[in-house]
Amino acid sequence: MRDFAGKVAVITGAGSGFGLEFARIGAAQKMRLVLADVQQDALDAAVAEARSRGAEAIGVRTDVSIAEEVARLAARADEAFGGVHLLFNNAGVAAGGGYVWEGSIKDWKWLLGVNVMGVVHGIRSFVPRMLEHGAESHVVNTASAAGLVSPPLSAPYNASKHAVVALSETLYHDLRLAKARVGVSVLCPAYVPTGISRSDRNRPPELRDDSPQTPSQVAARERSEKAVGAGKLSAADVARTTFDAIREDRFYVITHRNLLPSVELRLRDVLEQRAPSDPYTYRPNLKREV
């Protein structure tokens, strides 16, 4: 997909971070926008901004972990603009760091519900519509560097993002088998200053975990906050790279190129059937660009 003008884009998690930047680029490209977020005030602000930039835009409050709400989002998109051409399954949350055995069931339910089932619901609600209208279309699933490597102290997040990568790869193969005019990209950024470190602000009351944090959970939170704060790429940088990937019909969107040696190390662990290496302690010589 090279020409975005007049095309319809649906963006989940549009109230902040990557989603908001996708919306800004979409508006600049004269796309018609269907913005979704679970946080109503952030969603309203994103819609108002898009309209101030001259875009046709609507907002639909959506909890992507609930299939019926995503189905309603798809129906509203159809009512407002007709067929959708570009879908960003972008909404995501982070929580549940620390040793694997210390994470609560509520942490697992929340992360898997949003990060994995949100993507599943997006695919099930929108891809059949894309196939039906037959126009050139594209799906972008937001995963993470944590979907390509498995750093310690972040099991729920790692598991959810590995699942998104696997879903995206399978979707790519299935669409090729179906001879569909639908492209797929999986976005795998490393640490970027966004609002994901404050995900708890939108956590459902029934899935809140108020138990005291263990030392490993405190260490995981501090490590994450430090890494996110030190991120050199902005959400806007990532959004621009993602739109470039859509134009090029590129599947893997790796925004932080210095991640690749750690990905290669993990694959070599698999090929050589050895124990997993710690991606945090791997420090290759990066004199050449990879």
Catalytic residues: 157
Crossing angle of helices 17-28 and 40-52, rounded to 10°: 20
Report which of 216, 105, 106, 206 is spatially closest to residue 154, judged by C-alpha positions: 216
d(CA 165, CA 263): 13
Tell which residue, 147, 152, 169, has the closest CA to residue 255: 147
CA-based radius of gyration for the chain: 19
Locate 86 and state its tokens: 């570009």
- The single-letter code of the amino acid at 180 is A
Q: What is the C-alpha to C-alpha distance for residues 236 and 216, in angstroms, rounded to an integer?
A: 32
CA distances for 209 relative to 41, 106, 107, 161, angstroms: 24, 7, 7, 21
- Smallest Cα–Cα separation from 119: which of 138, 137, 96, 142? 142
* Cα 72 from chain centroid (whole Å): 20
Residue 257's H or E segment, with its range, is: none
What backbone torsions phi and psi does residue 168 show, to the nearest 5 degrees?
Answer: -65, -45
**Residues whose CB is less than 8 angstroms from the CB of residue 268 and which lie 6 or more positions away in sequence, other chains included:** none
